[in-house]
């Protein structure tokens, strides 16, 4: 069950799904789908880089803006691959409370 914090992800995912049949001339998302996987991956990479630069420059407002761009393009990537945000939220939920160091040690051991 989505909480109010994650509900926007579900709403956005529904829009991204609907954009699969939209006109690329009026929809950024439809245009990006039309360009294909490599173009979507390029946007994810660019937004990740811009996130790093905003953090290094110590600009919190820009950082929030860039991370929103990054998350948005990750959602576009998930939709393109036939996935929504829920499996990612489920995976984070599964990991919740499990120390990253402990998990790493289990994998190494
Ligand atoms: N959340 C977003 C969102 N965040 C960022 N963007 C777009 O992502 C692009 C980010 O690319 P850049 O920052 O590199 O800017 P740019 O120079 O315009 O991009 P390029 O020409 O380099 O590709 C911009 O065009 C932003 O407008 C978004 N576009 C759409 N959404 C959501 O998706 C919905 C559907 O959008 P459309 O398909 O356009 O109707 C919207 O209602 C919003 O809810």
Distance 57 CA to ligand 1 centre (A): 23
Half-sphere exposure of 38 (CA within 13 A, CB side): 0
Distance 48 CA to ligand 1 centre (A): 15
Q: How far apart are CA 91 and CA 34, in angstroms?
A: 29
Q: Where are the beta strands (DSSP E) in 1-47?
A: none
pLDDT score recorded for residue 48: 98
Q: Is the pLDDT of residue 20 over 80?
A: yes
pLDDT score recorded for residue 99: 86
Q: How far apart are CA 72 and CA 74, in angstroms?
A: 5
Tell me the pTM: 0.92
Assembly ipTM: 0.92
Band (pLDDT 50/70/90 cuts) for residue 1 is low
Distance 72 CA to ligand 1 centre (A): 8
């Amino acid at each position: 069950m989505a909480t109010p914090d994650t509900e926007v992800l579900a709403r956005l995912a529904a829009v991204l799904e609907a954009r699969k049949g939209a006109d690329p001339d009026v929809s950024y998302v439809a245009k990006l789908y039309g360009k294909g996987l490599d173009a979507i991956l390029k946007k994810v990479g660019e937004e990740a880089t811009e996130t790093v630069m905003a953090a290094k420059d110590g600009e919190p407002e820009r950082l929030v803006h860039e991370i929103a761009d990054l998350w948005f393009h990750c959602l576009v990537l998930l939709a393109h691959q036939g996935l929504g945000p829920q499996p990612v939220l489920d995976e984070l939920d599964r990991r919740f409370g499990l120390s990253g160091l402990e998990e790493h040690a289990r994998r190494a051991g």
